A = this chain, B = another copy of it.
Amino acid sequence: MTEVNDRDRAVFEAGIKLGALYHQFVGTPISIETVDDLSRTIEQSVILQPYVRSVSVSIDREMVGKKLNPRYKYCELEGRMLNVSLQIRYKNTIASAELAHDEELDYPLMSVKKIEEM
């Protein structure tokens, strides 16, 4: 058993932010026309939270296009449509993480990409 360090905290916070935005916004009605605006709104809601250094959100237009209801011309945001990359800074550690659709697993996979200790 070892003590919790700054690196652990940076990585933990990255996980929190991805899990949170996913379950906050999945289900939101969207169309091709609203994906950019919703992406900005998600970014703004993430950047407010503690230790977030940067965040970039995009929503897969092609998937949205395929999922549009033929009659009503909108669909709901699904986890697999989301591409998110973010950086958490906790003291001298920067953790970079992302959410991206894993095609092989057909799963919205969250992963730590990089850890920098300064």
Contact = CB atoms under 8 A, between A and B. Distances in A.
Given A12-B11, A16-B19, A27-B27, A69 B4 contact: no
Identical subunits present:
4
A3 to B, nearest CB: 8
B8 A115 contact: yes
A2 interface: yes
Contacts of A50: 72
Interface band, chain A:
35 or more
Nearest to A114: B1
A22 B76 CA distance: 12
21 contacts: A1-B115, A2-B115, A4-B112, A12-B110, A14-B15, A15-B17, A16-B19, A16-B110, A17-B19, A18-B19, A19-B19, A19-B21, A20-B20, A23-B23, A23-B24, A28-B45, A29-B48, A34-B41, A48-B73, A49-B72, A71-B107
